[in-house]
């Protein structure tokens, strides 16, 4: 049974900077479901892309894998042989729970999976036909993001696909204000209180730093991706497909 996210509900709780702790890992599926509009659609699409675009004998990477939702989607849908999925996260709580969830999967498929506790910037990307960064890049310092994307591009096979999902900010301040309000209302409809919304926002301040769609697309093009486009947008949350 999914544990409910009440991390920011107690009146006595302190709002510390957000971290991927044991408590967060315990409620993470509920947090994603109630906080990120379009999240389920992005995971479903990752499975579809894996079925269509993963190349035989290649590697797939889930960078910032958290509990392994994207890893599961790839493993269940890869149709070709000789592939390996490398799932990476630097949070011990996430890695431990991810391994448990993968082991308990009732539809595992035949693709080998390695779950690694490491900094994604230290991972050697090689012969990749699919890389997923699902709401991961936004947690890296701004100045470190170009090198991360270049590292991915340089390790990809021709025709390989990067799925990059991110929270973004709109270039128009009035549109951005409206998108934020829509997102807050989305949370209210999912039974988050005003206190929880406020505390979560404070906890993520300067931890999650969003950028504009244009900045993401330019960085991907500069890194060597030939085709870049937004395939999903729901309020201020997007998913981009970039093809090498």
Query: Would you list the domain boundaries of the chain?
Result: 39-169+208-243
Residue 58 Cα distances to 23, 54, 119, 244, angstroms: 35, 7, 22, 14
Q: In this structure, are residues 25 and 94 in contact, taking their beta carbons and an 8 Å threshold?
A: yes
Please say if the pLDDT value at position 183 is more than 90.
yes
Q: What per-residue confidence (pLDDT) applies to 206? A: 87
Residue 149 Cα distances to 127, 193, 221, angstroms: 15, 36, 10
Helical segments of the chain, H only: 22-35, 39-53, 69-77, 92-104, 145-154, 173-189, 194-204, 213-223
Per-residue pLDDT of 6-53, as tens digits, reads: 888 876 566 778 888 999 999 999 999 999 999 999 999 999 999 999
State pTM to two decimals: 0.94
Per-residue pLDDT of 184-224, as tens digits, reads: 999 999 999 999 999 999 999 889 999 999 999 999 999 99
DSSP one-letter code for 212: -
CATH: 3.40.50.150, 3.40.190.10, 3.30.1330.10, 1.10.3720.10. Which one for 39-169+208-243? Answer: 3.40.50.150
- The predicted model gives 90-106 an average pLDDT of 95
Per-residue pLDDT of 110-139, as tens digits, reads: 899 999 999 999 999 999 999 999 999 999
Q: The tokens 């269509």 sit on which residue?
A: 52
């Amino acid at each position: 049974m999914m544990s409910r996210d009440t991390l920011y509900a107690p009146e006595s709780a302190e709002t510390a900077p957000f971290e991927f702790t044991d408590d967060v890992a315990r409620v993470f599926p509920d947090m994603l479901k109630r906080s990120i509009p379009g999240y389920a659609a992005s995971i479903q699409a990752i499975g579809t892309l894996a079925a269509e675009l993963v190349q035989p004998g290649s590697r797939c990477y889930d960078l910032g894998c958290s509990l392994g939702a994207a890893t599961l989607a790839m493993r269940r849908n890869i149709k070709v042989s000789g592939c390996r999925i490398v799932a990476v996260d630097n949070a011990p709580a996430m890695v431990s729970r991810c391994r448990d969830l993968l082991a308990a999967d009732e539809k595992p498929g035949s693709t080998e999976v390695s779950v690694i506790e490491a900094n994604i910037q230290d991972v050697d990307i090689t012969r990749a036909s699919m890389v997923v960064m699902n709401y991961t890049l936004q947690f890296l310092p701004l100045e470190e993001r170009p090198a991360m994307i270049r590292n991915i591009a340089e390790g990809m096979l021709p025709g390989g696909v990067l799925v990059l999902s991110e929270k973004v900010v709109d270039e128009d301040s009035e549109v951005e204000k409206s998108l934020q309000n829509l997102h807050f209302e989305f949370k209210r409809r999912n039974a988050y209180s005003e206190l929880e919304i406020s505390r979560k926002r404070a906890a993520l301040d300067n931890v999650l730093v969003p950028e504009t769609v244009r900045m993401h697309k330019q960085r991907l093009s500069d890194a060597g991706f030939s085709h870049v486009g937004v395939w999903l947008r729901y309020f201020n949350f997007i998913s981009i497909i970039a093809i090498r």
